[in-house]
Amino acid sequence: MNSGNKDSEKDSAMHVMDGIHSSHDGLKRTRRRKFVKKQSAFSLDTTYEQLITGSRIHLAQAITLIESLKRSDQDVAQDLLKKALPHTGKSIRLGISGIPGVGKSTFIETFGYMLCELGYKVAVLAIDPSSSVTGGSVLGDKTRMEKLGSHPNAFIRPSPTSGTLGGVHRKTRETMLLCEAAGYDIILIETVGVGQSETAVRNMVDFFMLLALTGAGDDLQGMKKGIMEITDLIIVHKADGDNVRLAKRTVREYKQILHLLQPATPGWSSTSLAVSSYKNIGHDDVWEQVQSFRKQMIESNYWEERRKEQTKSWFHDMIQDRLIEEFFSEPEKQKQVDSLEQDILNGDITITGAVTQLFSK
């Protein structure tokens, strides 16, 4: 676990969400003032230096550049990210999914707080594919994780709220890298459990957790197809009060199912745990699972291997996205596709014929 600059971080920053860098370091204050006063004085080198020493304000600023729709910002963001690359990759990347109502925020708050108290620097990110449409956003409500948000070791960032689906995924992935460069030891990426974001998150994390409720069968009906098969750990949440016995039974049921399915990670037996965030029970077990997973995967070399595979597939997915985006960037093309689609459904043309027509110059 890389947590070298943990202590200095505790001194140099207090709040995560408010964007105020409350450092006692006079030099940093001066720099910030200069930045606020004249934006033109932005310095890539300064931002980079501050970022890798763990400055929250510069991290937030870098993420804003990553999320910007302005081409010039994007170019600067990529230059910054490139400089930061050697400092990335040292964290544990965790994905968390689950249907609405399962208590994801409460779990992340409790789990994240525990990790922060253990001395780890924890960054919480989110992917919400609906946010780019509605402007709403996972983790968008700052008050949702008040306790975690005020911990000096925590950094919380809501889902990017603009761009294509692929764009939202890319931004979250690059934000994760920036957080790593800023010295965060554990990255938690939350997804709302709709759309194709689970696959995207699975493809950017080391360990994927699924939050579920008691009554495995009923609960699963609302889950996405195939989600159990990408899951390293199913957490049966709200295992408290009258619910405890049922939760334990559900854990057993999930264990049985997981035993029958192919493992999400080769060499790892996916399992299930009962957790209560209300009663603060079980989060240490989750962390134990993650650590044991990491140890095993590093020994088998799959840790690095998967990350390499993820990087490659990310590259190829982005090429594909770009090709489709460019193709449909001509408004005429979209119209033509729609009209050909109708012709196909009417039986007026074969699919192959339609594709040939679409690509004839």
- Which residues of the shown chain bind a copy of itself in the complex (CB under 8 A)? 74, 78, 81-82, 85-86, 88, 170, 174, 216-217, 220-221, 223-226, 228-229, 253, 257, 259-262, 308, 311-312, 314-315, 318-320, 322-324, 326-327, 337, 340-341, 344-345, 347, 349-356, 358-359
Helix (H, G, I), strand (E, B) or coil at 207: strand
Please identify, using beta-carbon distances, which residue of 30 and 313 lies nearer to a copy of itself: 313
Please identify, using beta-carbon distances, which residue of 31 and 202 lies nearer to a copy of itself. 202
**CB of 88 or CB of 296, closer to a copy of itself:** 88
Is residue 208 within 8 A of residue 183, CB to CB? The reply is no
Residue with tokens 């295992």: 239
Q: Which residue has the tokens 């989600």?
A: 227
Q: Which SS3 state, helix, strand or coil, does residue 185 take? A: coil
Classify 24 as helix, strand or coil.
Answer: coil
What lies within 8 Å, CB to CB, of 192 at 6+ separation is 97, 100, 126, 127, 128, 129, 130, 138
> Please, what is the minimum distance in Å from the beta carbon of residue 347 to a copy of itself?
4
Residue 186 Cβ, how far from a copy of itself at the closest point, in Å?
21
Q: How far is the CB of 201 from a copy of itself (least distance, A)?
A: 16
**Cβ at position 262, least distance to a copy of itself in Å:** 5
Q: Could you tell me the smallest distance in angstroms from the CB atom of residue 85 to a copy of itself?
A: 4
**Angstrom distances, CA of residue 216 to CA of 89, 198, 246, 249, 283:** 35, 19, 10, 9, 20
Residue carrying structure tokens 């990335």: 88
Q: Which two tokens stand for residue 268?
A: 């790892």
**Nearest distance, CB of residue 340 and a copy of itself, angstroms:** 7
> How many C-beta atoms surround the C-beta of residue 114 within 10 A?
17
Q: From the CB of 160, what's the least distance to a copy of itself, in Å?
A: 14
Q: CA distances (Å), 349 to each of 71, 171, 328, 335, 357, in order? A: 41, 40, 21, 16, 10
Q: Which is nearer to a copy of itself, 240 or 321 (CB)?
A: 321
Distance CA 146, CA 20 (A): 16
Minimum distance, C-beta of residue 220 to a copy of itself, in the bound complex (Å): 5
Measured from the Cβ of residue 154, the count of other Cβ atoms closer than 10 Å reads: 27
| Residue 300 Cα distances to 262, 288, 311, angstroms | 18, 18, 19
Which of 43/356 has CB closer to a copy of itself? 356
CA proximity to 126, closest of 96, 90, 148: 96
Report, in Å, the least distance between residue 24 CB and a copy of itself.
34
Q: For a copy of itself, which is the closer residue by CB, 81 or 125?
A: 81
Give whichever of 70 and 308 is closer to a copy of itself, judged by the CB atom: 308
Tokens of 252: 């057993």
Report d(CA 172, CA 315) in Å as an integer: 15
201 contacts 127 by C-beta, under 8 angstroms: yes
Q: Which is nearer to a copy of itself, 295 or 308 (CB)?
A: 308
| Of 141 and 348, CB closest to a copy of itself | 348
